Structure 1
Amino acid sequence: MSRLLAPSQAWLFGRGVDLAVFAGSALVSVGLMLAAPALGLAGETPLWAWVLLVVCVDVAHVWSTLFRTYLDGDEPRRRPGLYIGAPLAAYVLGVLAYLVSPGAFWRLFAYSALFHFVRQQYGWVSLYGRKARASDTERRLDAAAVYAATLGPVVWWHANLPRGFWWFVENDFLPGLPGWVGTGALVLQGLVLTAWVGFQVSRAVRGEGLQAGKVLLVLATWGTWCGGIVLARDDFAFTVTNVVLHGVPYFALLWRYTRGRFAEGGYGWLRPLVRVGLPAFVLVLVALAFGEEALWDWLVWHERPSLFGEGVPALPPDVLALVVPLLALPQATHYLLDAFIWKPGREPALLTRLGWTHGGRAGSPEGSPGGMAAASTVVIPGVRE
């Protein structure tokens, strides 16, 4: 077994954390989906599950980007054009889309979210490849595997509309694909993943070992996307499989970055909060998420008065054209910024802050915040964007 696994484990965060945030998230998601009928959870997502999954995981992970961007005082000064331009562009585009029609806005927003979700899974597998110094052939095959695991179910979904769930709102995805296209997408997915599994087996046979974290990530992605889209029959099943594997690893990434930046002396007036550790970090994000969702409910949805109160009377369409893109701005900005802020080729210090180069978990004279175990220190020569 040691020969099978030893050559290039290259865990991203450390063995225990990787297993928890990738494999653990997937197991919890799929387990809840399968147990939902017996637990009486099938159908619409109950309020407690909505709070836990949507507010405390999905919306809160969006706000965690603040610790990589606007709350890191040096970052806005270093790239002011990005941090001013991204939300401004997102808001203007959102208003223009909403003025065309609310359906156009939600369709644009849904496909932006879908692109972001798919690219995040590719980003994780790409990081594993960098840390393992994988060959170009292996990295291309890994990319094909993760795109097959995500896009196969998505194409199938488009060919089998309507379903018992939507990404954001009803009819936000375009219908019209014939059924055989969806079937073909799943067949192609199976062929690509079979080739990828064959490559992993051949590595083991050659004595090169398995990168267990990456293997578990790809399998977790396949299980949750197929389970939550192809097998799911209701909103709860889709929600639980959709948000946990997406949000929980991102929390781990942002907390790792926050600790690294703290060790450099960053965050200024926020240092006492970061020093408290992971609980304070999560509580701040959950509070911001609750605030956002309260505004959505007061001003737009009016669906959960037992949680947020009655809110205001229905707003006229021209006001909603300004309000809805504004409320969506944290999420839209998160989508845009995520395409720029995790490129180590442009910012070598990023790898040190994440603990992925020499000096990984640097100490701090003021004490280091508590939380997740540190990852193994790994040198990554010639990192490219």
Structure 2
Amino acid sequence: MSRLLAPSQAWLFGRGVDLTVFAGSALVSVGLALAAPLLGLAGETPLWAWVLLVVCVDVAHVWSTLYRTYFDGEEVRRRPGLYLAAPLVAYLLGVLAYLVAPGAFWRLFAYTALFHFIRQQYGWVALYGRKARVSGTERRLDAAAIYAATVGPVLWWHANLPRAFWWFVDNDFVSGLPAWVGTGALVVHGLVLAAWGGFQVSRLVRGEGLQVGKVLLVLATWVTWFGGIVLAQDDFTFTVTNVVLHGVPYFALLFRYARGRLAEGGYGWLGPVVRAGAPGLLAVLVALAFGEELLWDWLVWHERPRLFGESVLEVPADVMALVVPLLALPQATHYLLDAFIWKPSREPALLKRLGWTRGAGEGSPGSTSPISAVAIPNAGE
């Protein structure tokens, strides 16, 4: 059995957490998708699933960035320009796009979100590779595998529009891509993943073992993106495969960071909330997520009166250009800030707060981790 494992597993958070947030998230997604017909969930996402998956995972994970940024007064004072400019730029771009056309806003927003989702998966696999000190060849092959597992199904999606689901709203992706492009994308994606799989087998043959966490991450990414886009036949399947693998690992990252920052005496009056652990952190995030979705429903969608009550608010069409980008601002700011806030090269204390300054999960507690040169997911290396 030991020959199956790499000499240094280089778990990101620890074996149990890594297996739970990556492989476990994928298993839950696939399990729910397969059980959907038996549970009567096939088709449009039911209200309870929308609350659990969209509000409590997807929207709440967006708000979790607050624990890394605006909830930490010292952090805001350290980089005030960034934390002022990010929401301002996001809002102005959103308003300008909406003034061009509502469809232009949602298209820009959808492709920004798509880029963010893909880059997060790349960030995780890059982090695994650099913690384990893999060769440059292996790093490039890992990157190719992640991009194949994500971009391949997305190109096929574009070549087979319309489907039973969209990213945000109807027609937010550009249609008209020839069908042969989608087919070709899947062929290329299969070849790349086969080459990556062959490389993993060659590691075993050479007696180098597998870096199990990274392998499971790539497999989880492929299963959820291929299954949730190419094989999916309804909105529920797309939703459950889309949000769980994206949101749950990010929660783990923020919880680990918040614990480390609290140990330094950070958060001030929010200290007791962070000290309460996951329940305290999640309670705040879910409350914020519900508040955001309530405003979306009252001001824009008017779709869920059973959950939010009947809305009597009617926003004039010409004011929507100000309202919709404002409601989307938490998500847009999350996308922008994630390109800056996870770079250890700009903030050495970041690694200590994450517990990665010494080879966490790698054996000798006195060894120095090679992670210091890597950007955390979404950092846009």
TM-score range, shorter chain: over 0.9
Question: Residue 8 of structure 1 contacts residue 210 of structure 1 at CA under 8 Å; is this kept in 2?
Answer: no
Q: Whole-Å Cα distance in 1 between the matches of residues 342 and 45 of structure 2? A: 33
Q: In the alignment, does 2:373 pair up with 1:383?
A: yes
Distance 1:301 1:135, change over 3 A: same
Find the counterpart in structure 2 of residue 233 from structure 1.
Answer: 233
Distance 1:304 1:375, change over 3 A: farther
Q: Give SS of 2:373's match.
A: coil
Distance 1:313 1:375, change over 3 A: farther
Find the counterpart in structure 1 of residue 379 from structure 2.
Answer: none
Question: Residue 352 of structure 1 contacts residue 359 of structure 1 at CA under 8 Å; is this kept in 2?
Answer: no
Q: State the 1:346 CA deviation.
A: 1.6
Gap runs ≥5 in structure 2: 376-381
Question: Residue 359 of structure 2 contacts residue 369 of structure 2 at CA under 8 Å; is this kept in 1?
Answer: no
Question: Residue 133 of structure 1 contacts residue 380 of structure 1 at CA under 8 Å; is this kept in 2?
Answer: no
AA paired with 1:50?
W
**Which range moves more in the overlay, 63-72 or 344-353?**
344-353
Moved over 4 A (4+): 374-378
Q: State the 1:95 CA deviation.
A: 0.3
**Which range moves more in the overlay, 218-227 or 338-347?**
338-347
Question: Residue 5 of structure 1 contacts residue 211 of structure 1 at CA under 8 Å; is this kept in 2?
Answer: yes
Two-structure CA RMSD over aligned residues (Å): 1.4
Question: CA deviation digits over 1:25-64, x for unaligned, max 9?
Answer: 0011011111111111000000000000000000000000
Q: In the alignment, does 2:243 pair up with 1:243?
A: yes
Question: Residue 10 of structure 1 contacts residue 132 of structure 1 at CA under 8 Å; is this kept in 2?
Answer: yes
Question: Residue 12 of structure 1 contacts residue 375 of structure 1 at CA under 8 Å; is this kept in 2?
Answer: no
AA paired with 1:12?
L
AA paired with 1:64?
S
Q: Whole-Å Cα distance in 2 between the matches of residues 358 and 248 of structure 1? A: 24
Find the counterpart in structure 2 of residue 289 from structure 1.
Answer: 289
Q: Whole-Å Cα distance in 1 between the matches of residues 140 and 265 of structure 2? A: 38
Question: CA deviation digits over 1:3-32, x for unaligned, max 9?
Answer: 221402111111111111000000110111
Q: Whole-Å Cα distance in 1 between the matches of residues 31 and 278 of structure 2? A: 26
Q: Whole-Å Cα distance in 2 between the matches of residues 135 and 337 of structure 1? A: 30
TM-score by length of 1: 0.94
Matches for 1:189-268 after TM superposition, within 5 Å: 189-268=189-268
Q: Whole-Å Cα distance in 1 between the matches of residues 196 and 220 of structure 2? A: 14
Q: Whole-Å Cα distance in 2 between the matches of residues 202 and 159 of structure 1? A: 35
Q: Whole-Å Cα distance in 2 between the matches of residues 384 and 164 of structure 1? A: 39
Identity of aligned residues (%): 81
Q: Give SS of 1:16's match.
A: helix
Q: Give SS of 1:191's match.
A: helix
Find the counterpart in structure 2 of residue 371 from structure 1.
Answer: none
Q: State the 1:312 CA deviation.
A: 3.1
Distance 1:50 1:149, change over 3 A: same
Question: Residue 356 of structure 1 contacts residue 375 of structure 1 at CA under 8 Å; is this kept in 2?
Answer: no
Question: Residue 11 of structure 2 contacts residue 362 of structure 2 at CA under 8 Å; is this kept in 1?
Answer: yes
AA paired with 2:368?
V
AA paired with 1:300?
V
Gap runs ≥5 in structure 1: 361-373
Question: CA deviation digits over 1:224-281, x for unaligned, max 9?
Answer: 0000000001100000000000000000000000001111111111111111111111
Find the counterpart in structure 1 of residue 159 from structure 2.
Answer: 159
Question: CA deviation digits over 1:271-295, x for unaligned, max 9?
Answer: 1111111111111100000000000
Q: Whole-Å Cα distance in 1 between the matches of residues 49 and 28 of structure 2? A: 13
